Amino acid sequence: MARATRKVEILHAASKVVSERGIFNLTLEAVAIEAGVSKGGLLYHFPSKEALVKGMVEHLAANYRDKIATSVEDSTLENGKWISSYTDVTFNNPYPNKEMHAGLLAAKAVNSDLLDPIRDLYNEWQAAIEDDGIDPVKATIIRLATDGIWLSELFDIHHLGEDKKKEIYLKLKNWINE
């Protein structure tokens, strides 16, 4: 309805196509149909496929950044705000992760330069994590372990059960304030 919404709807549709049908099915027509828009309408908003994927990445990067930033602001911790927020959001927010998966795969496939917004994100977070009031090596390991779960979910390679995942989450969180 509102105008900004349509673009976002299209981006969600694109993510959905990638998630459910794979990158090779990320065609303009498939996205248009999924979004309930004609091909012409899609191209009005995103003049090329690359522009569409760029939109996906930028959108999810902004989204993810906000989530983490909000979590950091709400944190009452003395030390380890950033790493704690990163772990919380990434472990407990299946939605942005799904979009992230689709966006990453699409960008990697279409044009690696499109990953720049993600690179910026990671540079910011890595810097914050290393200046988070706790041992930077420890903090980085916690981040990496969090990303490790991500990798296996992205490729659907190995799923730790929910219980094991929780154990790991708790151990990591606990380690922050050790």
Partner DNA sequence: GAAAAGAAACCGTCCAGAGAGTATAGTAAA
Partner DNA sequence: TTTACTATACTCTCTGGACGGTTTCTTTTC
Binding site for DNA (CB under 7 A): 3, 6-7, 24-29, 32, 36-45, 47-50
Dihedral Cα 146, 173, 121, 74, nearest 10 deg:
150
Q: Does 63 bind a second copy (CB under 8 A)?
A: no
Residue with smaller CB distance to a second copy, 35 or 100: 100
Cβ proximity to a second copy: between 55 and 103 the closer is: 103
Q: What are phi and psi of 177, to 5 degrees?
A: -100, 20
Closer residue to a second copy, CB minimum distance, 31 or 105: 105
CA dist., res. 177 & res. 164, Å (int) = 21
> Shortest gap between Cβ of 128 and a second copy (angstroms)?
13
Q: How far is the CB of 106 from DNA (least distance, A)?
A: 11
| 175 HSE (CA, 13 A, CB side) | 18
Classify each residue of 25-49 as buried b or exposed e, where b means 16 or more C-beta atoms within 10 Å of its C-beta.
Answer: ebebebbbebbebeeeebbebbeeb
Q: How far is the CB of 28 from DNA (least distance, A)?
A: 4
Instruction: Let me know: does 95 contact 137? Beta carbons within 8 Å.
Output: no
Rule CB under 8 A: which residues touch a second copy? Answer: 22-24, 104-105, 108-112, 115, 118-119, 122-123, 126, 137-138, 140-141, 143-152, 154-158, 160, 164, 167-168, 171-172
